[in-house]
Chain A
Amino acid sequence: MRAELFHSFLKIFLSLIGAVLVSACASPRGTGDLGIIIERASGSVQVVETTHHTRLARVPGLGDLSHASAVYSRDARYAYVFGRDGGLTKVDLLRRRIEKRIVQAGNAIGGAISQDGRLVAVSNYEPGGVKVFAADTLELLADIPAGSGDSQRRSKVVGLVDAPGDRFVFSLYDAGEIWIADMRNPRQPQVRKFTNVGKQPYDGTVTPDGRYYIAGLFGEDGLALLDLWQTEKGVRRVLDGYGRGQQPLPVFKMPHLDNWAQANDIAYVPAVGRHEVLVIDQKNWTEAGRIAVAGQPVFVVARPDGRQVWVNLAPPDNDTVQVIDTLSLKIIRTLKPGKAVLHMEFTPRGEQVWISVRDEDRVDVYDTDTLERVASLPADKPSGIFFSARAHRIGL
């Protein structure tokens, strides 16, 4: 009897100690300096911390992550990862595990989270369209098939972003259209369609203030511009004919319009089929110049303060990153991080940039002031890098 009593006391005592130890390990922390790195070949993401350049965990089981991207919940705790195979995976950065995963289509390209954080939308290639899910449960709320006009043929959807007013805006690659879905009633989206916006919009983005939606065109020189403050004005073509009739060069990797690179009313976008970055005066949306770069630009991203623009390039020049000074519009440094530079992500205030170097199985961290490498982390075929600061930015 006595021994039994002693035993149960001991058990309670030990479990109390255990509980204390566990809570000590999982001491509360914020997520503001966390992020994920997509490991495209192994279907995993790394959870990383940017303050000390630490790899916190690897979360496997996310499927085919070739061309994967991510958005964040408004509390910046969960990353929603959009995989090529139609997978939508909600990853908990604090517990470092998959919270929920669904496969919602056959073939997907990316997604967005609504202004109020309640809805996650995915743009699909197959079957072409947009599906909208509840951010907390990933329950399907709406399905918007991207069929144009009377045609039964569905279009691949690209360039899906969120915009103020709980709207999602996206482009139809095959049909050459831009659609706005008003999601104030999530189960009954109101869709407004803009047709004949240009040939083969390949990606789209929204300005950081949420006012302008811009789709890049692959099938012709130019961009399609929609003023979301005055949608009745319709879609305008800007910078049309920037190739001046010259035969475009082959494009061995599609450019991306991830986040709109701007500084002082000037924006920077990749030209398609030209080894140039186009400079746009955003006051009147005309060309303000062009900057020759070492190859076909893929990502053209501005440091958060807009003082620099960093550019990576398509094969065969994908070992190179070039840094543009936005005062002089000159390239101030050409870096050679290694084979297959795929993505660049700035820390929230831009003192450092993380660069994935796929074929070297590395992510390099550069100081954006000295332009020197300050750290390097191993990663398995890294591609996209997404930091949690995206949680609070329109369009990301």
Chain B
Amino acid sequence: MNLGLYIHIPFCKQKCLYCDFPSYPHMEGLYESYTDALCREITGQGVLFSTNQVDTIYIGGGTPTALPAPLLLRIVTAVKENFAVTTDAEVSIEANPGTVDGDTLTALRAVGINRISFGVQTFSDTLLKRLGRIHTGEEGANAVRIAKRAGFSNINIDLMYGLPLQQAEHFQQSLQIAYDLAIPHISVYGLKIEDETPFACSLAQGKLSLPSEEEEETMYDRGVTYLPQHGYERYEISNYSRPGFSCRHNLKYWHYAPYLGLGAAAHSFINRERLANTQDVRAYLECINSGCSPVEHREIADEATQMAEFCFLALRTNSGISYHAFYQYFDKDFYQKYEQQITSLTARGWLQQPDNQ
């Protein structure tokens, strides 16, 4: 089976107030050595997976484009030299609109990166400021234009709803701007206040004015109706795309396909096992440089949990659960295994069974 590669760049210019992902600002001094270590890990893992074809690569963060272009080029080159990357592979990179310029994007495109994902979040300056983002709305739109000029046709932007002070109208405007920019892929995420973030702290102190649930739902509903009306298919609960532009790498997460994570805090799913590298950048460097494994957690779930994962992940996508894929994977009949649940959920109208599956 083809393999997906996830490469984590745990750096950013400034931590957003809602973010609890493993990403760290003010680590410019480690950019060089992190790239070295990452390339070593890529080389080492490449040997182990030499028989696999790699058809998707996703460079995520943090802000991968926080790294200077030459370092990014080294990473991509290392991957290509050590893994069997297919010619039509989807190669994505995440970027912060405040960290890109035409030259960098042209260079990235030239090295084979063919998909770019901007964390735009919203086009409203007031809201962006409130989120602690480093860019303006106009910079967000401009990043998309620069990417297009640099030769990217497969572009995503992330949009968020449920932001502090956000109203349904703001969100609607952002959707409209995204549509007007002819962006082929849009991810729409709801803001979730995670523990131990500055937002969680403000919320506890009563200083964060979040939209009411009703308003939040209104925004959600706007996204769910606006985008399909404008030619975007909702192929996963948070992801919308023009035909042919769904993100093949992310679909691997939902389709229970294998992926290998590289870099600090990267997660892998290989041979039914879930692995996670240490989140601590310095610990990661130490492990790699001393020839140890950076893997901190590994778990093979029992089969019942695996099946449950298979189902709930698949149900996030519009293609749903595949009877055949389930059978192939677990050697079990889906209908027999979940007869009771299927009956009860179907009766409630929550589950549908198309004739052809």
Same assembly: no
By a beta-carbon cutoff of 8 Å, the part of chain B in contact with chain A is: none
Interface residues, chain A, with chain B CB atoms under 8 Å away: none
